[in-house]
Amino acid sequence: MDIEKLHGTDPRLYQLVAPLVMSIPVLRYNNNYPFKTSAHHKWLVATNKGEVKGFMPIDIKSTGACIDNYYVSGGNSSLLSALIDFAKKNLQGNNLFLPFPTPEMQKPSRQTVL
């Protein structure tokens, strides 16, 4: 599994994730809410043999980095953990905000700082 960090407006990002972010099943996975990107976003894209298996858009703000959604094929929790670990290592110096509980958290909260 390879994880690549891409700028929010990188043409390669669109090439990799467009087929997924416009698919009905992936939109349902995200509660029918569209995925957003901007010049302030960094995306982590996980691929296996050239096939996108998951992604995580991260909004870089002055107060920190906010993960507001993600997609992992088949609900793969180990891939989600790998994306979070990659974000923690590659966004050092930013507080990383998660709006969802992770397996290592005992008490879920609306937003958790890692």
Q: Encode pLDDT of 5-45 as tens digits.
A: 999 999 999 999 999 999 999 999 889 999 999 999 999 99
In 3D, which of 114, 96, 45, 101 has the Cα closest to residue 73?
45
**E-state strands within the chain:** 2-7, 41-48, 51-61, 64-67, 71-72, 96-98, 112-113
Which ranges of 30-95 does DSSP label H, i.e. alpha helix? 77-90
85 vs 60, 74, 80, 81, 114, CA distance in Å?
Answer: 17, 19, 9, 6, 10
Name the pTM for this structure. Answer: 0.81
CATH of domain 2-113: 3.40.630.30
Domain limits, the chain: 2-113
